[in-house]
């Protein structure tokens, strides 16, 4: 998909897709966007400095939405007919809802990294009031940084896992996290990353297979009652095939070792790599694994 990426200013993170939209204050702001926005485009929400914005997110990245297919207009206020929104969402003069003119979205995310607006979009303040009135195209470097940030997809009545944005974006929410029924998938198809922090610093282990069992094996001979550190699991991803999980693992280790993060102690250990760098590799690895799964389905 040839996605395009934009940003806008909002008062906070988006809700689940059923209850939210790309919401705008005037019809005159929505119509120009409808002339060029495409299904699958991503709009990132930067929390504004307005008094009514979420104080926990003010000045920081809040979330993102994916434009629905087909592109269509929606009345934002009617998306939650039985819920009265906060008083500050209505104008004091005439009592009207502030952002009634919506464009439908198919997926939404909340960012859990404490990333400032200034860091992600250095020139956002130059737009002034237009920052919130419309959407603005992101630059390649900004998109690259966006992809490494951790998010949770907003799914109704479901708790989703934490993933780098690029990984979550390429992993539809219907691909449930966790162990799936063995009748549908070979159980040894996880890509996992374990980590341990001890007197020697932080070490990561990248592997594929049955994540829970592999990490249990790592801890089997750790002397936990004597205070030795324990391996813990970072978010893992499950693929449809063993080949996909292995391809994702091989890519992650190869690229990390090329960058000088390999360890002489074990072929699957990484040392000296930052969480952000590892997130970026993990995201690309998910893409590679999903591509292998897709090829297997075609065959």
Predicted local confidence at residue 184, as pLDDT: 47
Cα separation, 126 vs 108, in Å, equals 26
* Preceding amide of 277 cis, omega within 30: no
User: What is the CATH code for 5-169?
Assistant: 3.10.590
Domain with CATH 3.10.590 in the chain: 5-169
Cα–Cα distance, 15 to 31 (Å, whole number): 23
Rounded (10°) CA dihedral 81, 83, 87, 93: 10
pLDDT for the residue numbered 60: 92
Q: What is the pLDDT of residue 171?
A: 67
Q: What is the mean pLDDT of each run of 10 residues along the chain (299 residues)?
A: 89 91 91 95 92 84 95 87 74 80 94 90 88 91 90 89 84 48 58 89 92 87 86 84 91 95 92 92 89 75
Which residues have CB under 8 Å from 70's CB, separation 6+?
Answer: 39
Strands (DSSP E) found in the chain: 5-10, 21-24, 42-47, 61-67, 73-75, 101-111, 136-137, 150-153, 163-164, 190-198, 201-209, 232-233, 237-238, 269-271
Q: Which pLDDT does position 93 carry in this prediction?
A: 77
Q: What is the pLDDT of residue 170?
A: 77
């Amino acid at each position: 998909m040839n996605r395009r990426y934009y940003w806008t200013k909002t008062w906070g993170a988006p809700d689940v897709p059923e209850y939210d939209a790309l919401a705008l204050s005037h019809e005159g702001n929505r119509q120009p966007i409808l002339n060029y926005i495409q299904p699958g485009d991503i709009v990132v929400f930067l929390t504004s400095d307005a008094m009514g914005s979420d104080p926990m997110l003010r000045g920081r990245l809040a979330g993102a939405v994916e434009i629905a297919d087909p592109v269509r207009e929606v009345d934002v206020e009617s998306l939650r007919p039985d819920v009265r929104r906060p008083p500050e969402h209505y104008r004091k003069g005439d009592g009207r809802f502030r952002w009634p003119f919506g464009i439908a979205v198919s997926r939404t995310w909340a960012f859990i990294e404490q990333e400032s607006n200034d860091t992600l979009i250095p020139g956002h303040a130059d737009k002034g009031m237009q920052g919130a009135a419309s959407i603005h195209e992101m630059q390649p470097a900004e998109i690259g940084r966006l992809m490494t940030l951790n998010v949770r997809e907003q799914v109704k009545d479901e708790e989703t896992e934490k993933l780098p944005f690029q990984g979550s974006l390429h992993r539809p929410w219907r691909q449930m996290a966790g162990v799936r029924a063995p009748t549908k998938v070979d159980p040894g198809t996880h890509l996992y990353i374990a980590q341990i922090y001890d007197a020697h610093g932080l070490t990561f282990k990248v592997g594929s297979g049955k994540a829970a069992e592999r990490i249990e094996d790592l801890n089997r001979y750790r002397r936990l009652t004597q205070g030795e550190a324990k391996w813990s699991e970072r978010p893992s991803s499950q693929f449809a095939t063993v080949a996909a999980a292995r391809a994702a693992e091989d890519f992650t280790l190869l690229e990390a070792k090329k960058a000088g993060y390999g360890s002489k102690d074990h072929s699957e250990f990484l040392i000296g790599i930052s969480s952000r760098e590892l997130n970026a590799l993990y995201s690309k690895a998910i893409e590679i694994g999903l591509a292998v799964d897709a090829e297997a389905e075609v065959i």
